[in-house]
Structures are given as structure tokens and as C-alpha cells.
Structure 1
Amino acid sequence: MDTRKPPEFTLELVADRSNVKDVVKGLVHTIFFHRYFTPLTPATHDVLDTTLPYVSEDDIEDLIETRATAFVRSLDTATSTQHTSPQYSAKSTTAATSRGTLAVKFLEKKRRKGWFIAKADEETVWETWVLEVTLTSARSEPEAARNRRVMEGSLQEAAMKVVAVVNREKGHIPPITTNESNPFPYQIVVNPKNG
């Protein structure tokens, strides 16, 4: 029995309240574009002056939209004591900062074997991508411009890390042993518990 822990790749993002959903969706689409082993029609979309790949499959689009919305709600819940505009805050940046995590997990179906009968399939994780998002706010226009540059830089860096990892880390991908349209199930978890 293989007891090795599947690889986990962490991506750090910074975003303000008005852009956090688009930034998260853009990066999750980038991950799926590179790890969804089904023929895709190439598509792109722009997020903060960065062109990212886009998976135009209805079920994936719906899942990403649903989880990104839940993620933004979790950030809103964490900072619900603040009643400020989406972009500017009267509080200092450090006091108004909140964090959240989103995990994208790719699974492998394995047939469990019994003595005389086949048991139900067991799903095991073979790769996890963890997005650690820091939500920022600004007190002034110059601070907002600085935050935008930081956001753009963190998104570009994270997207390039995805490309570097998928090109380098291939040995852990399980063999495709099914004729199903998508051989590997997936999950997107908002603020997953460690362990």
C-alpha cells in the first residue's frame, strides 16, 4: 500500500474586495486548464491586465463560480464587523486584512477488492493546489494603485508557478484506466480543515 502523501502546491495571492472573485476564478481556471485531461477548446479571459486560460466546460464553470462565490462570502463573514466600501477602508491596511484558503483537489478512482466481490470505488487524492488569498484594502488612491500593482504581480507569479509546476511535476499523475470523458474526479474546497 502506497502511504506517500500526494503533492501539494501552494499559490499565494493578494486581492482587494472588488477583484478577489475574478482573481480566484482566473487562477482556478488556469489550474484546471493544465490538469483537466479532457479535450478542450482553447479559450482565454483577462483578469487585471493578465490573459489567463479558461476552461469553457459548463460543469467546471458552474463549480468554479459557485466555489468562488462561497469563498468571497467566507471572507465577508470573517470581516463582517467592517462596514466599508469595497475598495477603500478607514481602518489601517493591516487591521482590515483577512485571509482565506481554497483547495483544488484531483482524485483517482481505485477499485477496492474484496475476497470474492468487487467493492465500491475508492477516491484518493493525487494532487492538491492550495490558494492562500490575502484580502487587502486601501485608505487612499495611491494605496489603491499600489495594491493593484501587488495584486497583478501576485496573480502573474501564481499563474507562472502553475505553468512551471505542471511542466516539471508529471511523475505522480496516475495512469488513465477508464474510458470516461474525465478520468479524474475533482473537488474545490473552501477553507479546508488541515489534516
Structure 2
Amino acid sequence: MSDPHPTITIDLILDRHTTKEVLQAILHAILFHRLFGTVKPQTFEVLDVTMPGVSDPEMETLVNDKVEAFWRGVENGASKRGQITVTFSEKRPKKSWFQVYMGEEDVPWEQWIINAELRQPKSGHDRQQFLNTLGATLTKAVQTMVTHTLSDKGRSAVPPITNAAGISPFPLRIAVTVGGVEVA
């Protein structure tokens, strides 16, 4: 049996003022490193950290919708913790027990998990310390993305590209979970 797909985890502690901006930047950075079509780059400046992004209306809408879903989930729910999962898959023939072709199935080849927790600093000093820590966390997250995507394991996880149409030759899914429940 082959190795399961790589899973990369990024842990974030956010406050109300930075949540949307940070999550958008992190998602864009992941997409920037894992979309293989012609990508028009853009950058995001978050807490003095420059993060790469994708300038594509469809991807921007997808990212904004998922960040909004996360925000609504933590604002309206009892839990202030959530998770955004980005899964990259490939289409493979699905066969039945008797090797009869039964259509196609999505088989994940890589997954990124963003664990996010919402906290509120109590004082101005706490807030400054919080923002400094978050900035360092973002820098580390970008380093993790670059290190993984350039590593042998990161490169070998990518299946052969057989369809060069569009910005992503592979199916991609972004799921948002807050308090253990998936939100739309």
C-alpha cells in the first residue's frame, strides 16, 4: 500500500481584527504554491509579512466565501475554534470488485489543515505581543509552505498533469468546520 497523502498543518491564534485578513492571505498562499495553471500573482501585506497570492476572480470568490463562512461560524456559535481544510485531489477511474469501470473518483494527493482559534487580547501590551507572535506565525507558515512544496516529498505528491486547461488541473475542495460541524 502506498503512503497516505501528505497533510500539512498550520495552527493560528487570531483576534477579531485580523481573522479575515490572515485567513485570506493563508489560503491564497496555499493556492499560489499548489495551482499549476497560468497564475497571475498578487501579494498580501499582513502584519508586516508579505504573502503570495493568486489574482483570479474565481479563486478570490472561493477564498472570500470560505473565510466568510468561518467568520459566521465563530461569531454565531459557542465555539471560537475552527478548521479550514484545503484538499487537492486527482480524478482516477473507479472500479468495482470485478474490475468493471464505474466512473471516476476524487483521490486526495495533498491536504492542508488550518486550525484557527479566536482570542481577544486584554490590554494594549497584550495586543502588541499578540500581533508580534501572529506575525512570526505567518512567517513560519510561509516558510512551511515553501519548504514542503520544494521538498522531494512535496514534489512527488503531485500526480502527473494530464489536463492543462484552467488554473488548476486538479479538483480542489475547501471545507470549513467550526465546533466540529461543517459550515457552508
Confirm or deny a common fold (TM above 0.5): yes
- CA deviation after TM superposition for structure 1 residue 67, in Å: 0.3
Query: What do residues 140-170 of structure 1 show as CA deviations (whole Å, max 9, x unaligned)?
Result: 1111111111111111111111111111121
Aligned twin of 1:186: 172
Aligned twin of 1:155: 138
Query: What do residues 43-101 of structure 1 show as CA deviations (whole Å, max 9, x unaligned)?
Result: 21211211111101111110000000101111113348xxxxxxxxxxxxxxxxx3211
Alpha-carbon distance in 2 for matches of 1:189, 1:44: 23
Aligned twin of 2:91: 109
Query: What do residues 107-128 of structure 1 show as CA deviations (whole Å, max 9, x unaligned)?
Result: 1011235779753221111100
Aligned-pair Cα RMSD in Å: 2.2
Alpha-carbon distance in 2 for matches of 1:67, 1:179: 26
Q: Residue type matched to 1:122 in 2? A: E
Q: Residue type matched to 2:40 in 1? A: T
Higher strand share: 2
Aligned twin of 1:92: none
Aligned twin of 2:158: 173
TM-score by length of structure 1 reads 0.82
Is the 1:13–1:158 contact (alpha carbons within 8 Å) kept by the matching residues of 2? Answer: no
Q: Residue type matched to 1:17 in 2? A: R
Alpha-carbon distance in 1 for matches of 2:155, 2:35: 13
**Structure whose CA Rg is larger:** 1
Alpha-carbon distance in 2 for matches of 1:26, 1:179: 26
Aligned twin of 1:83: none
Unaligned runs of 5+ in 1: 81-97
Percent identity between matched residues is 30
